[in-house]
Amino acid sequence: MTQDTLLLGQTLHYHGSPFDIAPQDAARHDTNGAVLIRAGRIAATGSGEGLRAAHPRARIVDYGDRLIMAGFVDAHVHYPQTGIIASWGKRLIDWLNTYTFPEEMRFDDPGHAADTARTYLDLTARHGVTTMASYCTIHPASVDAFFAQAQARGQRVIAGKTCMDRNAPEGLRDTAQTAYDDSKALIARWHGVDRLSYAITPRFSPTSTPQQLDALGQLWTEHPDCLMQTHLSEQTDEIAWVQGLFPEARDYLDTYEQFGLLGEKGLYGHAIHLEPRERARLRDVGAGLIHCPTSNMFIGSGLFDMAGLTGEGQRIGLASDTGGGSSFSMLRTMAAAYEIAQLRHTPLHAAQLLWLATAGSARALHLEDRIGNLAPGMEADIVVLDLASTPDIAQRTTRAETFWEAIFPTIMMGDDRAIAATWINGRQV
């Protein structure tokens, strides 16, 4: 029998959404807390003294005054873009043609795909990211590589073959039929195996013909337990492009809706420039809107309406959008989300930012019963934060009068040095 492990330190867990109740009331912070890990799951949480007394044979890992919390959940990434992260100065469509598509063409090589997947998962673990939803490329080998690397680590991930049959280079186009067939085979091979889940993945309407969107809508009908991920209303020139390609559509969202690609388990990345009808329909079906703040600023897309959308009851996740986003770090992603909210004159509380990066993203991915919080029965995906990881942060933290004031400098200025430890499936990695 595997020995229990008891983590000691400060702890943070949520018992409600900080967008529904007062942010500081949505979470519990214990200065002398503990988390008991058994067989890859959280068996108990509580006081350090109490759990030590109750489990005297547990292996002790004492993190002192460091903060133990749920691992970060990144709800929208492109692992194949790892090598081109922070590429200079393009709008979305130019950026795709200049950087993304040439890089993604390399993923017909299984060796390159495996190397990139390994590098990506190593880098994100250093940043405390324990789960992500990733786009792959059109090549089934890119999906196999990502899932195989995650499976070897016991990691919970979501991924799917990106489908494109127009407006992309010849080496990156499939067809309506091959998109359906390849995706269906990948679902059979990987979906529900260990901690792996498949997402049906049309890149976005401009790169899929109506025939391909219809085929993927049919596939989703056949596999309703899968997620579906795509992009929506990222930039104004993209929206104009969609209008030209789908003149009969009521709006951008309708290019998905009319083909059966709108639903509760749909994930719609960016969702910045939404029309009133789109907002209403997304709310009605309970879809996930994924905020990608570093990407939105880096590529100049616009300002996500966090306050308005959460006020409407939308389901919101947070994401780095590697490599359109300029960082693998969810700390940097939270800082960017705060800055965008400030530009909209609706600042976010630290409790809201941390919730978005954990429980909120888990909820958007329909995994809130498994990850995203410290609670008995949850999978033991955990990050440990050093709240004084650099002299800059430490000098500010010493002046803090509350826990939220103490953690906020780490959100705004922290990087991988703030990650004292990352635990995935009950193992430190």
Nearest CA to 135 out of 165, 114, 109, 104 is that of: 104
Same domain, 39 and 167: no
CATH code, domain carrying 240: 3.20.20.140
Residues 384 and 333 in one domain: no
Q: What CA–CA distances, in Å, run from 231 to 138, 154, 165, 421?
A: 16, 28, 16, 33
**Residues 62 and 157 both lie in one domain:** no
Helices (H) and strands (E) in the chain, counts: 17, 16
Dihedral over alpha carbons 284, 287, 292, 296 (to 10 degrees): -50
Question: In CATH, what number is assigned to the domain containing residue 393?
Answer: 2.30.40.10
Angle between helices 210-222 and 176-190 (to 10 degrees): 30
Residues 204 and 338 both lie in one domain: yes
Query: Quick count: other Cβ atoms within 10 Å of Cβ 181?
Result: 15
Backbone phi and psi for residue 113, each to the nearest 5 degrees, phi listed first: -60, -45
User: Both 232 and 329 in a single domain?
Assistant: yes
> Do residues 166 and 200 share a domain?
yes
Average pLDDT on 30-54 reads 97
Q: Which of 312, 335, 364 is the last residue of a domain?
A: 364
Instruction: Please report, as a single letter, which amino acid is at residue 282.
Output: L
With 80 as the cut, is the pLDDT of residue 12 above it? yes
Instruction: For residues 189 and 227, state if they share a domain.
Output: yes
Burial profile 22-31: b = 16 or more Cβ within 10 angstroms, e = fewer: ebeebbebbe
| 255-260 average pLDDT score | 98
Q: Write the DSSP assignment of 124-150 as a string of letters.
A: HHHTTEEEEEEE--SSHHHHHHHHHHH
Mean pLDDT of 146-171: 97
What pLDDT sits at residue 53?
97
| Phi, psi of 372, rounded to the nearest 5 degrees | 100, 0
Tokens of 243: 């209008």
Residue 276 CB contacts under 8 Å (≥ 6 apart), including other chains = none
Give the model confidence (pLDDT) of 289-347 as tens digits.
999 999 999 888 999 999 999 999 999 999 999 988 789 999 999 999 999 999 999 99
Strand partners, 74: 132
Residue where one domain finishes, among candidates 346, 364, 382: 364
Residues 359 and 407 in one domain: no
Residue 160's SS3 state is strand
Q: Given pLDDT bands bounded at 50, 70 and 90, which one contains residue 264?
A: very high
How many other C-beta atoms lie within 10 A of the C-beta of residue 2?
10
Phi, psi (rounded to 5 degrees) for 312: -80, -10
Domain containing residue 203: 72-364
**Consecutive H or E run containing 67:** strand 59-70
Looking at the structure, tell me whether residues 85 and 173 fall in a common domain. yes
Residue 1: predicted pLDDT: 66
Instruction: Please tell me the distance from the alpha carbon of residue 397 to that of residue 414, in angstroms, as a whole number.
Output: 12
pLDDT at 89 over 80: no
Tell me whether strands 27-38 and 5-14 are parallel, antiparallel or unpaired: antiparallel
What distance separates the 2 farthest-apart alpha carbons in the chain?
Answer: 68
Q: pLDDT (tens digit, 9 = 90+) per residue, 94-115?
A: 878 888 888 898 999 999 999 9
Please give the structure tokens belonging to residue 402.
């509350």
Task: Convert the pLDDT of each residue in 356-370 to its tens digit.
Answer: 999 999 999 999 999
Q: What is the pLDDT of residues 267-284, one digit of tens each?
A: 999 999 999 999 999 999
Q: What is the pLDDT of residue 158?
A: 98
Which of 347, 364, 381 is a domain's end point? 364
42 and 104 housed in the same domain = no
Task: For residues 315 and 376, state if they share a domain.
Answer: no
Same domain? For 86 and 24 the reply is no
Q: Which two tokens mark 339?
A: 């800055």
User: Structural domain tally of the chain?
Assistant: 2
Q: Is the pLDDT of residue 425 over 80?
A: yes
